[in-house]
């Protein structure tokens, strides 16, 4: 209780309240634009937070994250174009509702479900984080090495059409993270004699290029859709039958979100897909899903917002991001001088609990802001995309230039934007590359420390139950696709 009061007193400081409001507002505005997801939104806003106090900056970025997740559903419902990947499932029933003239109701249900899912996620985050933190206090390099490896393999293997492509992106991300001087040996790695590469590559231009610029190149030809209906406050009120039908799906969705949010490699997208599939299976008329069922919106929206909040559990408690968006959040924390992990809650409780409490405020703001502001977001979707995208490119250029007032970072954005675009056209997802970029230095550090502590004995890395179980799960994740291939081959024979 003391922690919650401490967090509230920190979160309610006017600067933090303002940052939360600005983050939620900007995140929703950016998330509404089709194709520009939470990752790009955070990358775009990150440079704006450099001049802020660390907690204020992180509160703003967290607001951007869940604001963008919420905003993404607006484009899903009105245009059948998901703003973020986790909102893609909302298109299935949201867009048919809009076609039936019930867009207002769909948007209202999205807001309520997001609030319920987010709130349940925050309760779970508040209860579980101290437990995981106390466990993590005993973690050494072996545990961290095994958990990071599990994260890599889970990202490569789970939900991928072609795990090989995800693996390539992790490896590429890992290699570019090694650019710069090695602090252990003083050896320069992959710097090509360039002084600007000695300190390594910064997260912001890499993320802005991979997610912001490449996304824009992809959407230049497809972003010109228009909204054909106006949304009034009266048209948003659900019927009594709608209310009756969304209650349990929201709770079940939040449950799936809380389950998948903290797990490595899953996150909001997998949570939303699973909760939709579960609702369809439980429905009396599953064939009606995809034709405008309110449960088809309520469950995945509650689910992805719960997952957004619970994804912070491993990020803040262990310093290990389960999802690419959390990887960028970890990068942002580090840029602000905050080292996430078990010591964060102990050494800086005001920061930890202030951030958690700001999630409550942000969720409440989402509810209070978005019902009256839905018509504003709808009008934003009416701005022709041919006007919008050149402006976003300028913001990306200025944002990357402002990191160190150098055009070198703008050049990096260009490089990663073009490479990201070319790879995406070939079906390579950019998110695993960011996971590789953020986690490889941590993996190497823990490998080196563990090797030193184990005096060169590899058995040290399986000496504890957590490390052993994590490595066992790594093996299982690697073996499962192989078993599938063997089964299919056997069936063919």
The binding site for other proteins (CB under 8 A) comprises: 48, 51, 161-162, 164-165, 167-168, 171-172, 174-175, 178, 182, 184-185, 187, 189-190, 213, 216-218, 220-221, 224, 384, 386-387, 389-391, 393-394, 396-398, 401-402, 405, 407, 410-411, 413-414, 417-418, 421-423, 425-428, 440, 443-444, 447-448, 451-452, 454-456
Min dist CB 146 to other proteins, Å, is 16
Among residues 405 and 490, whose Cβ is nearest to other proteins?
405
Min dist CB 50 to other proteins, Å, is 10
Min dist CB 317 to other proteins, Å, is 26
> What DSSP character marks residue 237?
P
Whole-number Å distance between alpha carbons of 485 and 478: 12
Among residues 7 and 163, whose Cβ is nearest to other proteins?
163
Min dist CB 49 to other proteins, Å, is 11
Which of 89, 82, 37 has its CA nearest to residue 64? 37
Write the DSSP string, 122-157: HHHHHHHHHHHHHHHTT--HHHHHHHHHHHHHHHHH
Min dist CB 176 to other proteins, Å, is 10
> How many helices and strands in the chain, by DSSP H and E?
21, 2
Among residues 45 and 302, whose Cβ is nearest to other proteins?
45
Which of 45, 41, 113, 104 has its CA nearest to residue 77? 104
Among residues 221 and 281, whose Cβ is nearest to other proteins?
221
Which of 67, 75, 79 has its CA nearest to residue 23? 67
Among residues 224 and 247, whose Cβ is nearest to other proteins?
224
The residues, any chain, with a CB within 8 Å of residue 138's CB and separated by 6 or more, are: none
Whole-number Å distance between alpha carbons of 23 and 63: 4
Whole-number Å distance between alpha carbons of 175 and 363: 38
Min dist CB 391 to other proteins, Å, is 5
Which of 319, 265, 249, 327 has its CA nearest to residue 89? 249
Min dist CB 465 to other proteins, Å, is 24
Q: What are phi and psi of 100, to 5 degrees?
A: -85, 5
Among residues 128 and 397, whose Cβ is nearest to other proteins?
397
Among residues 215 and 295, whose Cβ is nearest to other proteins?
215
Min dist CB 84 to other proteins, Å, is 21
Among residues 386 and 487, whose Cβ is nearest to other proteins?
386
Among residues 284 and 426, whose Cβ is nearest to other proteins?
426
Q: How far apart are the first and last CA of the chain?
A: 63
DSSP 3-state of 28: helix
**Count of CB atoms within 10 A of residue 234's CB?**
7
CA distances from 88 to 12, 259, 338 (A): 34, 20, 33
How far is C-alpha 166 from the geometric centre of its chain's CA atoms? 17
């Amino acid at each position: 209780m003391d922690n919650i009061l401490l967090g509230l007193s920190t979160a309610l400081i006017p600067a933090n309240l303002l940052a939360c409001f600005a983050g939620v507002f900007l995140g929703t505005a950016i998330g509404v634009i089709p194709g520009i997801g939470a990752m790009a939104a955070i990358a775009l806003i990150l440079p704006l937070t450099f001049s802020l106090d660390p907690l204020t900056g992180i509160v703003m970025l967290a607001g951007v994250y869940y604001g963008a997740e919420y905003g993404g559903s607006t484009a899903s419902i009105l245009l059948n174009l998901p703003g973020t990947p986790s909102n893609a499932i909302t298109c299935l029933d949201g867009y048919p509702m809009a076609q039936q003239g019930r867009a207002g109701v769909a948007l209202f249900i999205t807001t309520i479900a997001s609030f319920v899912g987010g709130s349940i996620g925050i309760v779970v985050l508040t209860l579980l984080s101290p437990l995981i933190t106390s466990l993590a206090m005993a973690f050494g390099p072996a545990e961290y090495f095994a958990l990071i490896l599990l994260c890599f393999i889970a990202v490569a293997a789970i939900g991928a059409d072609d795990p090989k492509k995800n693996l390539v992106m992790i490896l590429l991300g890992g290699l570019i993270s090694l650019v710069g001087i090695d602090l252990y040996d003083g050896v320069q790695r992959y710097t090509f004699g360039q002084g600007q590469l000695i300190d390594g590559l910064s997260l912001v231009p890499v993320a802005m290029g991979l997610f912001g610029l490449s996304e824009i190149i992809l959407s230049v030809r497809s972003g010109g859709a228009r909204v054909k209906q106006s949304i009034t406050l009266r048209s948003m009120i659900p019927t009594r039958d709608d209310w009756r039908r969304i209650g349990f799906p929201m709770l079940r969705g939040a449950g799936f979100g809380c389950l998948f949010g903290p797990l490595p490699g899953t996150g909001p997208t997998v949570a939303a897909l699973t909760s939709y599939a579960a609702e369809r299976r439980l429905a009396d008329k599953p064939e009606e899903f995809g034709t405008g069922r309110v449960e088809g919106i309520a469950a995945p929206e509650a689910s992805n917002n719960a997952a957004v909040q619970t994804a912070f559990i491993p990020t803040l408690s262990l310093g290990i991001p389960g999802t690419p968006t959390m990887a960028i959040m970890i990068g942002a924390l580090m840029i602000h001088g905050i080292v996430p992990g078990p010591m964060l809650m102990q050494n800086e409780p005001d920061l930890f609990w202030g951030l958690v409490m700001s999630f409550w405020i942000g969720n409440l703001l989402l509810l209070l802001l978005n019902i009256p502001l839905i018509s504003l977001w709808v009008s934003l979707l009416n701005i022709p995309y041919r006007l919008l995208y050149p402006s976003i490119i300028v913001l990306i250029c200025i944002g990357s230039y402002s990191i160190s007032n150098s055009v070198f970072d703008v050049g990096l954005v260009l490089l990663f934007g073009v490479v990201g675009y070319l790879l995406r056209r070939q079906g390579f997802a950019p998110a695993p590359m960011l996971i590789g970029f953020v986690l490889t230095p941590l993996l190497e550090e823990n490998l080196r420390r563990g090797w030193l502590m184990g005096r060169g004995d590899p058995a040290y890395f399986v000496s504890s139950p957590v490390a052993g179980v994590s490595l066992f799960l790594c093996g299982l994740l690697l073996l499962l696709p192989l078993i599938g291939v063997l089964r299919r081959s056997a069936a063919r024979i």
